Amino acid sequence: MRHNFILLRHELRVLIITPSTYIAAVLFLGVMGFFFQELLAGYAAAPSDISPAVDFFKLFFFPVFFLTPLLTMRSLAEERRMGTIETLMTTPVTSIEVVLAKFSASYLYYLAMWLSTLSFHYVLYRFAANPQVIDPGPLLGGYLFVALSGLMFIATGIFSSAMTRSQLVAGLLTFSLTILLTLGLRKLADLALFMTTPGDIVNAVAAHVQIFQHADDFVSGTFDSRAPVFYVSTAAFMLFLSVLALDARSARS
Amino acid sequence: MTEADATIEVEHLVKHFGRTIAVNDISFSVRRGEIIGFLGPNGAGKSTTMRILTGYLPANAGVVKICGKSVASSPLQTKRHIGYMPENNPLPEDLRVREYLTWRGHLKGLGGRRLRERIEAVLEQCDLRRAHRRIIGTLSKGFRQRVGVADAILAEPDVIIMDEPTIGLDPHQIIMIRDLIARLRGRMSVIISSHILPEIEATCDRVLIINHGRIVASGTPDQLRQEFIDRTGYEVEVHGELAAIRRALEPLGDGSTIDVGEGSPDAAGFYSISVQTGAGRDHGEQILGLLGQAAGVRVRALTRHQATLEEVFLAATRRSWETTTPLKGDAARAAIAATDSGHAPHPGS
């Protein structure tokens, strides 16, 4: 594992020198800033007791659907398309180290983008007449949720990128899997098939993998340890599959 | 060759992709400091063999050892001994040359002052000093090839494997790479594949010719000539009656043929005739002796035409096409059968 730091530093360097990194960041901040401004406009028109942070984090799925594929689709698919995976894998590094480095770099970038939205709340705090408009509880809960769920979404993107040489296919696969994990799991709980026996295990599992519900819980201050376990274990499973996919596809090339 | 001398040992290597056999029971070894040339038509199994040696591809059967360690059971250890430049030389487009070499050096376990020294050395050796700040994506093909070679030799590994290192280079750059590889002789074992046969002949101590995944010839270029070329050609410029010349050369025997060409002499009255003899021994002195003793015959020049490696290559691959049929190798068939039934005949290498 001694190469982890070398690989991660290289991945971050590539992110820093790639123009698309900055384009994605500007688009992300622009779109999220627009939503935030719309939220505030709504609050100005109709005062509400709910903190703006609560409504802001209800929009978490938007960047997840569009940003995660953009962030991760390049990682392994591009290495395979270019052939640079061959020169990389013939140095004394393991597939696990490569996958972890790609994942860590994308995850750190994802976090950095989300953390940059703290500036919205700071601007609101700075210029709002009432400092109590900023409620630290939902903010903390919201960012914690974003950090935890991001593990799973980014790992899903890395897995998709390990499955193909095409960035486009990797991006579409990430998008589809993300829809499946969010909206698909929500639909699972709605299916009458699992609702017949309230105590059954499938029903119980389906009830605990509701990502929208997790977002609401974290923002409202309810911390359920099953949610972090779900995100961390799903991320680990996706990364494990990524390592297998990387090894298997290399063996066939 | 003792085992201690060998940096690369390959025994009964088999690799198949589905039903297609890429490498079919190959065995060879390479001594420390030896330079080996891999020759073979496209799809013969050269690149696959090289990828298995580097540990990038797993084999279906057989054993590969690098510096005494099995590639299958100690992949990280064997990779430390290898510098590899793949076919088409893939490089990251966004990095500068020096950044790339620094990163690669770190991955290969170099650091600090030693890494700086090695980077300076390879920049100098590969004539990259004037391009070290340039972004790789903007480099010409020749520069990119040299960045690949610089990376392969960066950590001074015991084994260097280069797949088509001179492809796309101009003659100056080819000579530079050839000199560079020649300087590695005696220190590192080098395997290079190339389609430019004079390159292989000029650079390599030994040649392996691969066809249909099998080694069809192995040895020094001279040994291969003796094995595969059964004729030696001589060009003689001679003055005199053609019939007398023919009579004078009759004692050559050995299945020799004499071709007097168009039969018209040059301005000075010398004919240029071609003599083909058996390849067993050098007939040059005998030809000169026979013509010298003949009355009314004068010799101006005698040139011996050595078969090129290209002719050897064509003869060796033609012979292998005539004598082997793909998919009939015993080892390969056994490997496929074993894999199909879930049992590998040897631990994969």
Q: Which residues of B208-233 are buried (b: 16+ CB within 10 A; e: fewer)?
A: bbbbbbbbbbbbebeebbebbbeebb
Q: How distant is the Cα of A26 from the closest Cα of chain B, in angstroms?
A: 21
What is the spatial distance between Cα B322 and Cα A102, in angstroms, rounded to a whole number? 50
Q: How distant is the Cα of B119 from the closest Cα of chain A, in angstroms?
A: 17
Interface of B to A at Cβ within 8 Å reads 17, 51, 54-58, 76-77, 79-80, 82, 84-86, 88, 90-95, 99, 103-104, 106-109, 151
What is the spatial distance between Cα B234 and Cα B283, in angstroms, rounded to a whole number? 9
- Region at B43 (left for phi over 0; alpha for psi -120 to 50; beta for the rest): left
Q: How distant is the Cα of A6 from the closest Cα of chain B, in angstroms?
A: 7
In one-letter notation, the amino acid at residue A210 is: Q
pLDDT at residue B138, rounded to an integer: 92
Which DSSP letter does residue A2 get?
Answer: T
Residue B7 three-state SS: strand
Residue with tokens 């101006």: B300
pLDDT at residue A8, rounded to an integer: 93
pLDDT at residue B108, rounded to an integer: 92
pLDDT at residue A253, rounded to an integer: 57
What is the pTM assigned to this prediction?
Answer: 0.81
Considering only CB atoms, B58 lies closest to which of A10, A84, A251, namely A251
- Asked if B95 and A14 come within 8 Å (Cβ–Cβ), the reply is yes
pLDDT at residue A12, rounded to an integer: 92
Per-residue CA distances from B177 to B39, B134, B141, B153, B180 (Å):
18, 21, 14, 12, 5
Phi then psi for residue A59, to 5 deg, are -90, 10
- Determine the residue of chain A that is closest to B137 in CA distance: A82
Cβ-Cβ contacts under 8 Å, A253 against chain B: 57
Mutate to test the interface with A, among B23, B47, B53, B57 (most CBs of A within 10 A): B57
pLDDT digits (tens, 9 = 90+) for A110-159: 999 999 988 888 888 777 767 666 777 788 888 899 999 999 999 999 99
- pLDDT(B344) > 50: no
pLDDT at residue B329, rounded to an integer: 44
Residue A224 is encoded by which pair of tokens? 């359920």
pLDDT at residue B136, rounded to an integer: 92
What is the spatial distance between Cα A50 and Cα A43, in angstroms, rounded to a whole number? 9
What is the spatial distance between Cα A234 and Cα A220, in angstroms, rounded to a whole number? 24
Q: Which of B5, B73, B153, B43 is nearest to B348 (CA)?
A: B73
Average confidence (pLDDT) over B119-139: 90
pLDDT at residue A193, rounded to an integer: 60
pLDDT at residue B286, rounded to an integer: 82
Determine the distance from the C-alpha atom of residue A204 to the mean position of all C-alpha atoms in its chain, rounded to a whole number. Answer: 25
Cβ-Cβ contacts under 8 Å, B57 against chain A: 250-251, 253
pLDDT at residue B328, rounded to an integer: 41
Cβ-Cβ contacts under 8 Å, B104 against chain A: 87, 91
When computed from its CA atoms, the radius of gyration of chain B, rounded to whole angstroms, is 25
Q: Does A31 touch chain B (CB under 8 A)?
A: no
Q: Which of A227, A40, A235 is nearest to A144 (CA)?
A: A227
- Asked if A90 and B84 come within 8 Å (Cβ–Cβ), the reply is yes
Q: Which of B130, B133, B126, B129 is nearest to B98 (CA)?
A: B133
pLDDT at residue A150, rounded to an integer: 93
Q: Does A16 touch chain B (CB under 8 A)?
A: no
What is the spatial distance between Cα B191 and Cα B46, in angstroms, rounded to a whole number? 10
Mean pLDDT rounded to a whole number for chain A = 85
pLDDT at residue A250, rounded to an integer: 65
pLDDT at residue B325, rounded to an integer: 43
What is the spatial distance between Cα B119 and Cα B102, in angstroms, rounded to a whole number? 7
Write down the ipTM of this complex.
0.83
- Asked if A6 and B103 come within 8 Å (Cβ–Cβ), the reply is yes
Q: Does A3 touch chain B (CB under 8 A)?
A: yes
- pLDDT(B326) > 50: no
What stretch of H or E contains A14? helix A4-17
- Asked if B94 and A252 come within 8 Å (Cβ–Cβ), the reply is no
Cβ-Cβ contacts under 8 Å, B90 against chain A: 82-84, 86-87
**pLDDT interval class at B343 (50, 70, 90):** very low
pLDDT digits (tens, 9 = 90+) for B208-263: 988 888 888 888 887 777 777 777 788 888 888 888 887 888 777 766 777 766 56
Identify each DSSP E strand in A61-190 by its residue range. none
Considering only CB atoms, A18 lies closest to which of B54, B82, B94, namely B94
pLDDT digits (tens, 9 = 90+) for B61-90: 999 999 989 999 999 999 999 999 998 899
- Asked if B80 and A92 come within 8 Å (Cβ–Cβ), the reply is yes
pLDDT at residue B336, rounded to an integer: 47
- Asked if B108 and A84 come within 8 Å (Cβ–Cβ), the reply is no
Helices (runs of H) and strands (runs of E) counted in chain B: 12, 14
